[in-house]
Every structure is written in structure tokens, then in C-alpha cells.
Amino acid sequence: MKFGGTSVASIDRIKNVANIIENKKKEGCKLAIIVSAMAGVTNDLVEKSKSISNHFSNEEYDVLLSSGEQVTSALLAGCLVDKGIQARSMLGWQIPIVTEGQHKNSRIISVNSKSVQNYLEKDYVVVIPGFQGISEEMRISTIGRGGSDASAVALAKALDADRCEIYTDVEGVFTTNPDICEQAKKIDKISYDEMLEMASLGAKVMQSSSVQKAMINDVEIYVKSTFAPEKSGTQILSEDKISYDKVITGVAYSRDDAKVTLMGVKDKPGVASAIFKPLNDDNIVVDMIVQNISADSNKTDVTFTVKRDDMLKAENILKNLKSEIGYEKLLTDNKVSKVSIVGAGMITYPGVAFKMFNALATKKINILVISTSEIRISVLVDDKNTELAVKTLHSAFELE
Ligand code: ASP
Ligand code: MG
């Protein structure tokens, strides 16, 4: 069972978590618990490091940030002991959870499940701080922001757990963001692939790399609410265990993109590579791309999207290469958003793209760029149309 930052945000909430654990224990389960830092604590620690130095040591950053989870693990284990439940905390280095790679962004490479298993066998509840590990150089490490989800998946895998339950402040994964679409419904089952698409497109229930990890290791996930633990939540599992009665599983959107258009580009071999190579050299991720074929002239237009934070950088790079690439005009727009429909059901179902475009057309929403994968169709629209597009698609595909 993993409890996120809002689930352990106060003493009362930690007591509530202890009650959930107590009930679970009564069902006869052996329990390893992963905790996040209390909500806001990690951000505070980041600010503190910045106020000491703009170049705060990465090694000390990890020691500092991992302390948030250590606090929660002790408070929760202490609370369980107080209730008469056998419990103890086990820090990353005590297990150990070994990591490799850069500080601030390490990866878990092994978990010594034996040490945890010993205590589980003695009927202890073991409380483990997420997000932290120890490097092969015996230094404290952290595995990237939001990393407690990945800690939980790694532990579940190492312990060969029957279930991995992720407790958060929502009831599960929703068909879309309930804040902008009242009709949004909780999804009972979603595949890893769909969840990955939803997560990277803005559904912030689980960190996407932890979903990837669960998929690779076939760890079944149950997303549940700490504030309504009796509800069934959302199960994340492999596609072949889901029977699809709907073509589309969810509608996601993100406002992190910007659109770049090069007009009057020469239509000849090597142009696309001349545009995208310098962007790649500067680590700018390009997402959606459209290039027209030129019907009557030898000029074409190329439009693509980059992360909104990278727009100015991309603009400058392309301006400097104007004569080299050979284009007439450069246009940028950051008031755009990407709206996507996601669903493994679309693989076998024709006409999904038509249905999507038609629904948007009836609301006079203009589509700027389109991109697709096997289980996703994304369109770029004017930012001001985001909510309308999400609601329109949600009802067109009968997700309510
Ligand atoms: N406390 C860490 C963070 O805020 C890890 C986590 O909560 O998953 O990023
Ligand atoms: Mg989190």
C-alpha cells in the first residue's frame, strides 16, 4: 500500500492512514507500506536548498529531500505501534534499495526483499519511505519527483506482492478531469498502455515512469482514495484482462505545448532533417508534426509542436538558421492545447477519427494539428476551446 503526500498531509491524516492499515491487517494481509512526504514538504526543502545556493550539491540535495519521507515513515510506524500493531520503519539504506545513475534522478536497480520479508514473516507492518535509495557509492539517492509511485511498484515486484494499492486523494482514474467536465466517470479498469497515454497527456494520478515499470513487470495496480478506502477505485492491468465495451476509455488534455510553423519551406530532400536536427541538438522535444506536400510550387509549410517552455529557444534556433534551412516566414503560438482521445478499443473499431473530427466540427472547433498512435488520437486546438473540446468528445463517445 502506497500513500501519497495529500494522504499523509497532517497528523490526523496519518492517523486515518493507520486506521486503513489496521483494517487491512484484520483481513489477514501481510503489509509493506510506502509513504510520500507530507504534502508540500518536498517543495519546501527544494526552496531551502535554493536559498543556500543556486548550485546546491546534488548529493546533499538527495539527503535533504529524502528526509521528508523519513519523517512520514516514522510518524506512521509510531502511530501503528501506539495502536498495538507490530510495526517498524525501514529506510532505503536499511533494506537496501540500491540505485544507479545521477543524483536527483537515480533509478532503482535492486531491492533486497529478504530484509523486509523477514519482518513480514514475523507479522510486522513494515513502513518504507518512498522516493529514496542508496547508491553503490553508499550515498543517499532520490529517484526523481513523484518517485514514491515507482518505489511502490519496485517493492511490490521484489516482494512478489498479490496487490499494489496506490492511495491518493481521488477515487481513481477518471474518463476526464472532473473539474472541467461534470460528467466525468471513474474508470473501473484501464490498461497500462492507456494509463501511460493518459498520464503523459495530463491525467496526474500516477507518475508515468512508474506505470511503465508496472507494465514491464506485470504488477497489477489498484488506485484508491484514502478518504473513501471502501470504494473499488481503478485497476491498472494488462489489456488482455479487460473486455472493451467502449471504443474510447478517456479524454485527456494538456496545456504544455506551443505551435511552430515554418512557411515557404523549400520542398526538397533533407529539409525536415535540417529543421529538426538543431532542435534535437538542443534537447528540444518535438511532438506533433505536419508537413504539406506542395501541389503546384516547390514550397511547402511545416508545423510542429514543442513544449511551451522551449518555444522561445526553438524560435531563436530557427531564426538563426533562416538562410540555411531556407524558409520565408516563422510563426509561433503558445495559446494552444492538445486534446486527446485514448482507448485500446479503437484498434479494432473503424471510424473513430471521423467521429472525433465530426464532433469537433459541429461545435465549430478548428483543428490545428493532428497526431495519432495505435490507441490515441490527439488534436491541437486553440487554448480557449479546450474545455468545450473535452466536453464535446466526452459526450460524443458516450463516456458519461
Ligand atoms: N516527495 C516526493 C515528491 O514530492 C516524492 C513523492 O511524493 O512521490 O516529489
Ligand atoms: Mg506523489
Lowest mean per-residue pLDDT among 41-45, 130-134, 323-327: 323-327
Q: What is the mean pLDDT of the chain?
A: 95
Candidate from 47-61, 126-140, 245-259 with smallest mean pLDDT: 245-259
Tell me the ligand closest to 151's alpha carbon: 1
Asked whether residue 153 is assigned to any structural domain, the reply reads: yes
Could you report how far apart the first and last alpha carbons of the chain are, in Å?
A: 30
Total domains in the chain come to: 1
Report d(CA 223, CA 197) in Å as an integer: 16
Residue 70 sits in a domain of what CATH number? Answer: 3.40.1160.10
pLDDT band at 295 (very low <50, low <70, confident <90, very high): confident
Q: Which atom of ligand 1 is nearest to the CA of 148?
A: 8
Q: Is residue 98 part of a domain?
A: yes
Q: What angle do CA 15, 61, 56 make, to 5 degrees?
A: 145
**pLDDT reported for residue 202:** 65
Atom of ligand 1 nearest to the CA of 68: 1
Give 391 Cα–ligand 2 centroid separation in angstroms: 27
What is the whole-number distance in angstroms between the Cα of residue 69 and the centre of ligand 1? 8
Would 114 be classed as within a structural domain? yes
For residue 174, tell me if it sits in a domain.
Answer: no
Query: What value does the mean pLDDT take over residues 117-128?
Result: 98
Distance 149 CA to ligand 2 centre (A): 7
Q: pLDDT tens digit string along 296-331? A: 778 899 999 999 999 999 999 999 999 999 999 999
Long-range contacts of the stretch 183-187 (C-beta < 8 A, 24+): 183/391, 183/394, 183/395, 183/399, 183/400, 184/394, 184/399, 184/400, 185/399, 185/400, 186/233, 186/234, 187/234, 187/249, 187/250
State how beta strands 97-100 and 132-135 pair.
parallel
Q: Is 151 contained in some domain?
A: yes
Ligand 1 mean position, distance from CA 39 (Å): 8
Q: Which ligand is nearest to the CA of 37?
A: 1
Query: What are the cell numbers at 150?
Result: 515507482
Quote the pLDDT of residue 200: 72
What's the gap in Å between 146 CA and the centre of ligand 2?
Answer: 4
Over residues 131-138, the mean pLDDT reads 98
Q: What is the pLDDT of residues 200-245, one digit of tens each?
A: 776 678 988 899 999 999 999 999 999 999 999 999 999 999 988 8
> Does residue 149 register a pLDDT over 70?
yes
Rounded to two decimals, the pTM is 0.88
Closest CA to ligand 1's atom 9 = 145
Q: How far is the CA of 173 from the centre of ligand 2 (A)?
A: 15
Q: What is the pLDDT of residue 246?
A: 85
DSSP string computed for 246-258:
-S--EEEEE--EE
d(CA 297, CA 38): 61
State pLDDT tens for residues 150-166. 999 999 999 999 999 99
Which ligand lies nearest the alpha carbon of 205? Answer: 2
Tell me which residue has its CA closest to atom 1 in ligand 1. Answer: 37
If one residue of 42, 45, 47, 169 were mutated to test the ligand 1 pocket, choosing by the most ligand atoms within 8 A of its CB, it would be 42
Residue 189 lies in a domain: no
| pLDDT in the model for residue 53 | 96
- Ligand 1 atom nearest the C-alpha of 43 is 4
| 214 inside domain | no
Ligand 1 pocket at CB < 6 A: 5, 36-37, 42, 68, 130-131, 145-148
pLDDT in tens, 182-195: 999 999 999 999 99
Could you tell me if 34 and 152 are in contact, meaning their C-beta atoms sit under 8 angstroms apart? yes
Q: Does a structural domain hold residue 336? A: no
Per-residue pLDDT tens for 337-380? 999 999 998 988 889 999 999 999 999 999 999 999 999 999 99
Average pLDDT over residues 101-128: 97
Look up the domain containing 24 and give its range.
Answer: 2-169
Which residues sit opposite 340 in a β-bridge?
252, 378
Ligand 1 atom at minimum distance from 36 CA: 7
Which ligand lies nearest the alpha carbon of 39? 1
| pLDDT mean over 262-286 | 92
Percent of the chain with pLDDT over 90: 90
